[in-house]
Structures are given as C-alpha cells and as structure tokens.
Amino acid sequence: MAKRKRVIIMGAGGRDFHNFNVFFRDNEEYEVVAFTAAQIPGIVGRRYPPELAGRLYPDGIPIYPEEDLPKLVKEYHVDEVVLAYSDLLYEDVGRLLSMALEAGASFRILGPLDTMLPASKPVIAVTAVRTGAGKSTVSRAVVKELVSRGYKVGIVRHPMAYAPDLAKMAVQRFASFEDFDKYGITIEEREEYEPYIRMGLTVYAGVDYGKILQLVEKEADIIHWDGGNNDWPFFKPDYMITVADAMRPYHEVRSFPGEVNARLADVVIINKVSQAKKPEDTEVIKKNIKSINPKATIVLADSEVTVDKPELISGKRVVVVEDSPTVTHGGLPYAAGYVAAKKYGASEIVNPKPYAKGIIKKMYEEYPHMGPVVPSTGYTPEQLKDLQETLNNIDVDVIILGTPTDISRLIKLNKPVVRVKYELKVVEGPSIKELIDEFLEKVKNKLPM
C-alpha cells in the first residue's frame, strides 16, 4: 500500500472534528497525526478519542495549541495542513497559510462538496458573514414561522465541542433544562440552546453529525441548521439564509468563510441597519452582495432590543455582559446589552476592565478592540469563578445580561439582573413569512403528506 499522506487539522473544537469524521476517518490515503486548537480557551491538551476516531486510530488523536504548528509539522513529517475553523479575515487565513508553508507542508481547505451531508428531510439553514451578525434572531423567527404552520422542526446547532470527554458528547439531544445539567454544558452552549428550549423545541448537537442527522431525520419534519460563527452548514441545505452585519461593512467580502456563505445564499439579510456607523454602510453591503451573488434576495432588518425590567436601568450605573464569541473573535466592541443600556437610559456604563479576574482579564488582553463590556466566557468551572468574581467586584447598581442565557443559574451574583431580549424586525424586502413560503414551495415534494 502507498504511504499515507500525513495531515494536521487546524481547528477550534467543531468544524475540525466534522471534517475528520466525514472525509478522513476511514480514508486510508491519509493519516491525521494531530489537531491544533485556537479561539476557544482551555481545550488543548486533550485527545480526539478512539471511540470517535475509528479503526485507523486505535489510540485517538492528540490536540495541540495552534502556536505549536511549525514544530509539529517538522516533528510529525507532515505533508498537508488542513484549515478547519471559521470567523477569520482573509489576512488571518494568509498568515496561517504562510505558517504551514514555511514549516514545509502544503495547505488545504475542504469545501462544501466534501463536507456537507445530504439529508432525506428538508433543510433550511441560517448562516452569517461574521459571528454576532444576528443569526440567532433570524433563526428564531424562521423556526417560529415553521412551527406556526404545524411542522415539527428539529434544530441542529453547529458544534461546540468543549467538554473534556468528547466521546460522551458525540450525539446530544436537548429537550429540557434538565438536559443542560445532564450534559454539563458551558455558558456558550446554553446561550444557543436556551431560547429554543423556552419555545418547547428540541435541539441536537455534538461531535458526530452523521449520527446526529440520522436521529433528527427520524424525529422531525424539517431540519433547521443553526449555524455557528460564520461557518457553512454541515448538512446540504435546500434553502440558505445568510446574515450580514450593517455594523461591519465589507466583511461579506473580506471574511472566511463568510464570503462563501454570502455566495451560497438564497437570501441575504442585512441586520442591525439602525446600528450602522454610517448611513451608506448598508448600501455598501448591498452592492457587495449583488456583485458576488446577483441571484440572492436582499432583506434589510433590525434586531429590536427590549428588556424584562427597564425600570432597573433608568438613571442607574450598570455593567453589561455580552455573548462572548461576538465580542471576542467576532470583532465587535459591544452587542445587545450595551444597546439596551443606552436605550433605557443608564446613567453610566461602568468600564469593567479594571475589575477583571483570570480568564476575563486575559480576554481583554487578547481582544483589545472590546468595549466596556464583560464577555460571558465560561468554558470551565474555573472560568465561571473568574466571571463571578469580576461581576461581583464591580461597584454598580445593576447587571445587564446581553447574553441569551441566564448566567445567574450558574454563578451567584450580588446585584439585580436585567435580561435583554432581541427580535427580528424586517424593514425592507420580503417578510420571514414570504421567505418561508418560498422555502416550502421549493421542498414540497420532501414534506410529509
């Protein structure tokens, strides 16, 4: 047999494992000698377990920090480095490419045709050009419309494989808050799953998306792919909605794989138009989308921000907690919590940075663009403790939670908490109802009679 090509997969606990499962796992032409990990603190030093790695990898596969890549290429005599994570600008991709080439390996990206799994049930996907564009708001609107028409919708969430034991989270099914405790999931996972659980729906996630697909095909009429970061779907969509961000013009043509999603989309929703820094930014995005995907329908929308206790904000000193990926590798200085503080008349949004502890302090150092907000970072018990101490040490009247999950379930806070909600409002173009009409007409032959 010919010598197997030796490969390292660069990832962040999600796309990397999926690409391995669907392309490399049983492929005798390749030997994956290692994964590297970036973006997510605290997940290196593990192994991709033999239970998931398959017959060619009886000892599993080690996971190293990304900064070790040049050394690993030489040590393992690597032929090819495969990039398998998302939310990068093109300059970031170029830097990673150069790192691999300088070390002596070739560089590769597996595309949608190599990595999308076909489904027997209709698939509608929501993706984005960058993290924090508002996928969740759009996804909730899409799912509500489908449910209102009597369809049983299975929500499949892009992976967040952060647990120490990856084998135990191969296939996860969340139908209640008790399931959160059963799987011991992180704040980051709760942020994505909790809104659906409150709607009485079931969310599927994990590591092995081939097995996840088999499960959801049995239990749902329609599969909703709820994307993560700006990655493209793991399942081949029949209809794809991509969300662009009016706060970040040009990212639809300067980010990877955000531009891929913009090119693949049936519909591009330009979200947060009222938050655009300049009035012409929305027109710039429209022009860019038309240049790369002239067939896409373009919709303009806003994320309408409300809170459960507005009276606690007016005239008060507040600290704002935001969804961590949005304000870290997503590149935004703030998100919905900060908007809510301004909207409801906080007297002061206190800068939390001098009070930061542990991982929160490290996040400010790693992401200097971040504004006066606290990232909801909590991948481990130690990080949850850092978040708790940071918030409890700040001299304010109220904590505003811009994150979709109620973190007061996980940590003890010594101040009143105000929770933020945000819903999609279409301001120009077809409504969500009209988009769903188009999707259902397209997949009518795959729907239950």
**pLDDT category, 267, cuts 50, 70, 90?**
very high
Question: Residue 128 has what pLDDT?
Answer: 97
What pTM was estimated for this model as a whole?
Answer: 0.88
Residue 71, C-beta contacts closer than 8 angstroms, at least 6 positions apart: none
Map tokens 């005798």 to a residue. Answer: 28
Rounded distance between C-alpha atoms, residue 334 and residue 170, angstroms? 33
Cis bond upstream, residue 257 (ω within 30) = yes
Question: What does the DSSP assignment read for 296-352?
Answer: SEEEEEEEEEEES-GGGTTT-EEEEEE-HHHHTTT--S--HHHHHHHHTT-SEE---
Q: Count of CB atoms within 10 A of residue 112's CB?
A: 15
Q: Considering only the top CATH level, what class is 116-304+424-446?
A: alpha beta
The string over 324-338, giving b where at least 16 C-beta atoms fall within 10 Å of a residue's C-beta and e elsewhere, is bbbbbbbbbebbbbb
pLDDT: which is higher, 231 or 381:
231
Contact of 5 with 79, CB cutoff 8 Å: yes
Taking residues 96-119, report their average pLDDT.
Answer: 97
Instruction: With H, G, I as helix, E, B as strand and everything else as coil, classify residue 11.
Output: strand
Q: Give the residue-averaged pLDDT of 104-112.
A: 97
Quick check: 160 and 290 in contact, CB under 8 A?
no
Check residue 422 and give its pLDDT.
85
To the nearest whole percent, how much of the chain has pLDDT over 90? 80
- Given this model, what pLDDT does residue 44 score? 63
Query: What does the alpha-carbon distance between residue 288 and residue 244 come to, in Å, rounded to a whole number?
Result: 11
How far CA 209 is from CA of 14, 111, 118, 139, 165, in Å, comes to 10, 17, 11, 20, 17
Residue 181: per-residue pLDDT: 83
Neighbours of 212 (CB within 10 A): 24
Q: In the prediction, which pLDDT does 381 show?
A: 84
- Residue showing tokens 């239990």: 219
> Is the pLDDT reported for residue 1 higher than 60?
no
For the domain spanning 5-114, the CATH number is 3.40.50.720
Question: Which of the given ranges, 174-183, 286-295, 355-364, has the highest pLDDT on average?
Answer: 286-295
DSSP letter for each residue of 175-223: -SHHHHHHHT--HHHHHHHHHHHHTT-EEEEES-HHHHHHHHHHH-SEE
So where are the chain's domains? 5-114, 116-304+424-446, 310-415
Residue type, 122: P
pLDDT, position 41:
61
CA 146 to chain centre: 22
The one-character DSSP state at 46 is -
Burial bucket for residue 67 (CB in 10 Å: 0-12, 13-18, 19+): exposed
Cβ-Cβ contacts under 8 Å for 125 (sequence gap 6 or more): 224, 225, 227, 233, 235, 237, 239, 240, 241
Q: Considering only CA atoms, which of 293, 271, 312 is closest in space to residue 396?
A: 312
Pairing, β 47-48 against β 61-65: antiparallel
Cα(449)–Cα(437) distance, integer angstroms: 17
Q: Which residue has the higher pLDDT, 373 or 407?
A: 373
Rounded mean pLDDT, 191-211: 94
- Give the containing element (helix H, strand E) for 366: helix 358-366
Domains 5-114 and 116-304+424-446 in one fold: yes
| Residue 311 pLDDT | 95
Amino acid identity, residue 115? T
Q: What pLDDT score was predicted for residue 65? A: 93
- In this prediction, residue 313 carries a pLDDT of 96
CA distance 36 to 33: 10
pLDDT tens per residue across span 202-232: 999 999 999 999 999 999 999 999 999 999 9
Mean pLDDT taken over the chain: 93
